[in-house]
Amino acid sequence: MEIPINQEKPMIMHIDLNSCFATIHQQAFIHLRGKPLVIAAYSTPNGCILSPSIEAKELGIKTGMRVKDAWQIDRQIIVRTPDTALVRDVHVKFKKIFSDYSPKVIPKSIDEAILDFKEMQGFLKKELPEIGQEIKNRMRREIGEWISCSVGIGTNRFLAKTAASLKKPDGLETINSQNLENIYKQLTLIDLHGINHRFASRLNIAGITTPFQFFQAPLNLLRYQVFKSIVGYYWFLRLKGYEVDDFESKCQSYGQEYSLGKKTDNIDDLDKILMKLCEKMGRRLRNSGNTARGIHLGIMYADYSFWHQGKQFLENMSSTQELFKATKTIFQKQPQLKIVAKLAVTCYKLTPGNIAQLNLFADQKNKINQISLALDQINDRFGEFTIAPAIMLGLEDIAVDRIAFGNVKI
């Protein structure tokens, strides 16, 4: 099966904020600018590095390293923990800028977004590279002069992201039908988004050692020998510039987890963390228009042992109060209360909220749900946990606020 390169005009833009957490802190704190800085989950030697600054990357420091490893490279490395309010503020600001250019903005993580211009083709007064440069200029002007981003343009999401990675930091590149093959000749398999070392090894076994060979590979080889699934067909199309990633899968569950910096077996402290997890999970659940009937709780202890249990309940739940009560029911079933290192809560068995069965206490339940929705609106407008359950008072001394990587809904 032969399919030509997609000849359509590139109308997908991928924007990636360079060294997100570190750059945002350098923007806010002038004395950190131009210096090797890492933002880590914890400032202790075993803290995991979430974001090295551009200066730190030049020294060979990478995301995922431990703080102690960075210090072995350069003892002068500055270590900070995330100021989550700053990061969320920048995310909201750059998302607002993006919405001025396209009606379809898809945040992919706290520091990445896709702008789809396909529906605007024929209405645009400027070419996408010009729009990309304008966005870069606005981010510096409206968010901060130290803020930079890499912009990639392509016929599909994959090529747009690949283009954004070509000249980091602060690049602006387009991949189209004319230069696609030359681009592949300059990259390695690991440079391709979605190809990890395991997939690269699988390709190598089939005689594919470069992206250009990957691009040239016949469909039968990719589908039936390399990937042995429909995934091979998707790669066959993706590499030629056709869109196969523009879909939103139906979510089957919502979950939150937290690794405790200060491990504890104090019930009051653990209750505060569980309430916070249920509140964040509940907001996502309510925003989706669903209710849940199942709760799963996972606990990792300080001795690295693990306990988990799930339970389905008779009534549909959506309010934080209901989710927390159900979670506590499971929490109390632990065979032994030990020092906790990590908590994970997931709700499942989702049902659209408007078909939840009525019961004897429906009026009271509806009041609780209406209050939850009203509180969500306040927190959406003024910031997370502007209003929070009383049980969470003092939580900032126990649990550090975190920003999740991956898809975001703000």
User: CA of 364: how far to CAs of 23, 34, 275, 369, in Å?
Assistant: 48, 57, 21, 9
> What is the enclosing helix (H) or strand (E) of 234?
helix 230-238
Check: CB of residue 275 under 8 Å from CB of residue 392: yes
Residue at token pair 């304008």: 134
Beta pairing partners, 27? none
pLDDT band at 358 (very low <50, low <70, confident <90, very high): very low
Helix or strand or coil: residue 350?
strand
pLDDT band at residue 356 under the 50/70/90 scheme: very low
What is the C-alpha separation between 323 and 338, in angstroms, rounded? 23
Phi, psi dihedral angles at 217 (to 5 degrees): -60, 140
Confidence of residue 248 (pLDDT cuts 50, 70, 90): low
**CA dihedral (190, 192, 196, 202) positive or negative:** negative
Residue 361 pLDDT exceeds 50: no
Which whole number is the average pLDDT over 123-150? 94
Which has more confidence, 359 or 319? 319
How much is the average pLDDT of 271-294? 90
Task: Give the model's pLDDT for residue 395.
Answer: 47
Four-residue CA torsion sign, 103, 107, 111, 112: negative
Is pLDDT of 237 > 90? yes
Residue 192 has pLDDT above 60, yes or no: yes
pLDDT at 234 > cutoff 80: yes
Q: Which SS3 state, helix, strand or coil, does residue 104 take?
A: strand
Work out the mean pLDDT of the chain and round it to a whole number: 86
Q: Count of CB atoms within 10 A of residue 1's CB? A: 8
Amino acid at site 344: A
Q: Is the pLDDT reported for residue 107 higher than 90?
A: no
pLDDT at position 371 is 56
Query: Per the structure block, which two tokens stand in for 189?
Result: 């398999």
Percent of residues, the chain, with pLDDT higher than 70: 84
Cis peptide before 169 (omega within 30 of 0): yes
Query: Comparing 353 with 319, which gets the higher pLDDT?
Result: 319
pLDDT at 111: 86
pLDDT at 4 over 50: yes
**Runs of H (alpha helix) within 308-401:** 320-331, 362-382
Tell me how far apart the alpha carbons of residues 250 and 350 are, in angstroms, rounded to a whole number: 11
- Work out the pLDDT band at 86, boundaries 50, 70, 90: confident
pLDDT tens-digit series, residues 378-408: 555 545 544 445 554 454 554 555 555 455 5
